[in-house]
Structure 1
Amino acid sequence: MMARKKRFILSATFFFLVYYFALPVLNGYTDWLNIQVIESINLVYLFALSQIIMAWIVALLYVRHAARMDRYTEEIASKSKEESH
């Protein structure tokens, strides 16, 4: 159970760090984020906004995963109590 939790946390952290650092790296070394989308709004602004949205998505995924792990823990605890009685 702890291995599943660790695997989820490490993979989510790795994904978010890569996504987070992609903005300054892509903006500093390429020009494709400077493409104008609507008037003065370019892809840099949209990518930055998507990071906020992605942070919420990662948080919601973690809450869902933690709830699943809590149910699993409760099942194990109830089975343990049944076997001890």
Structure 2
Amino acid sequence: MELKKEAAETPVSLNYKRMVVSSPFQKLIKTKKRFTLFTTIFFLVFSLLLPVLAFYSNILTKPLIDPFSWGWAFAFAQFFMTWGVCHLYMKKAAEFDQIAKNVLETEEKEMERDGR
């Protein structure tokens, strides 16, 4: 219900052309792209490193603690990495949402100032 209420309060005739070229919006898009790119690269490298190391090296077969090898440690680390990335994304998404809300509020103030 909260989303519908906010959507109803937002003016329909926002000047999207002006908003898209605004500095805060451009900064938001640049920051989101950078975060998404680096997070995706990290996730893919970390995830694909397990099969690569397992098939092409003997590093993961070395014992870590008596019955467990480094392979098991790396495999379990992937769960923690996934949870960590999810947690980081949730925090960053909240920041991005706040910046987007500020951009919309700024555009609404600009429209009021222009007399629309």
* TM-score between the two structures when normalised by the length of structure 1: 0.89
1:26 match: 53
2:64 alignment partner, SS class: strand
Q: Which runs of 5+ in 1 are unaligned?
A: none
Single out whichever of 60-69 and 42-51 deviates more from structure 2.
60-69
What letter corresponds to residue 101 of structure 2 in structure 1?
E
1:57 match: 84
Larger C-alpha radius of gyration, 1 or 2? 2
**Matched residues in 2 for 1:83 and 1:68: separation?**
23
Count of residues paired in the alignment: 85
2:15 match: none
Q: CA deviation at 1:3?
A: 2.7
The one of 69, 76, 81 equivalent to 1:42 is 69
Q: CA RMSD in A?
A: 1.2
Q: Which runs of 5+ in 2 are unaligned?
A: 1-27
**Matched residues in 2 for 1:3 and 1:77: separation?**
17
Structure with the greater relative contact order (CA < 8 A, sep ≥ 6): 1 or 2? 2
Deviation above 3 Å: which 4+ runs of structure 1?
A: none
* TM-score between the two structures when normalised by the length of structure 2: 0.67
**Matched residues in 1 for 2:109 and 2:45: separation?**
45
